[in-house]
Amino acid sequence: MKTLMWAGLLTLAAALTLGVPSSRSAGGQEPRRQAASQERVENGRRTYAVYCASCHGKAARGDGPVAGDLKVAPADLTRLAARNEGRFPHDRVYQTIDGRLKVRGHGSSEMPVWGATLRIPGSDRDQESEVRERILDLLSYLESIQR
């Protein structure tokens, strides 16, 4: 239990220190879209490293350093599409990360996990669009690592 508490505190400290930037979708020409997509994947990779790797592992296979301390084993995030008839379940994964979908190991809907965590504490501005962008970045990364 102490390991989980420390992992959570380290994750939060790293997030506040690193300040993972978000990406905005680029419209227009195809090369701009690809660059924006690559930027979104890279932003998502950094978000993953800060918020997810401690449980799901560096390679997202459910074998993070604190995975053994959890009651429910973390999912292998590289197999999300494979477990969904070859299609990446974008909406379900978004809702899971945001905390609106009940998932064993991520708590109940009364305690959203990352939707609330990605907000900056004490800020008086609306952060919903920034949180949404960070989650979309993370989804782009997760989709890019499907096998």
Average model confidence (pLDDT) across the chain = 77
pLDDT value for 71: 85
Measure the CA–CA gap between 115 and 49, rounded to whole angstroms. 17
pLDDT score at 115: 77
Q: What pTM value is reported for the model?
A: 0.70
Give the helix ranges, DSSP H, for the chain.
2-18, 30-51, 53-56, 90-98, 114-117, 128-144
What token pair was written down for 25? 């979708």
Query: What would the pLDDT profile of 39-51 be if each residue is shown by its tens digit?
Result: 999 999 999 999 9
Q: Quote the pLDDT of residue 88.
A: 97
- Between residues 129 and 32, the one the model is more confident about: 129
Asked if pLDDT for residue 127 goes beyond 90, the answer is no
Q: Which of 59-68, 72-81, 94-103 has the lowest mean pLDDT?
A: 94-103
User: What pLDDT sits at residue 11?
Assistant: 45
More confident residue, 35 or 95: 95
**From 50-59, 91-100, 117-126, 128-137, the region with the lowest mean pLDDT:** 117-126
DSSP 75-99: P-GGGTTGGGTTS--HHHHHHHHHT
pLDDT above 70 (res 18) = no
pLDDT of residue 100: 60
Per-residue pLDDT of 60-76, as tens digits, reads: 999 999 999 988 889 99
Confidence of residue 102 (pLDDT cuts 50, 70, 90): low
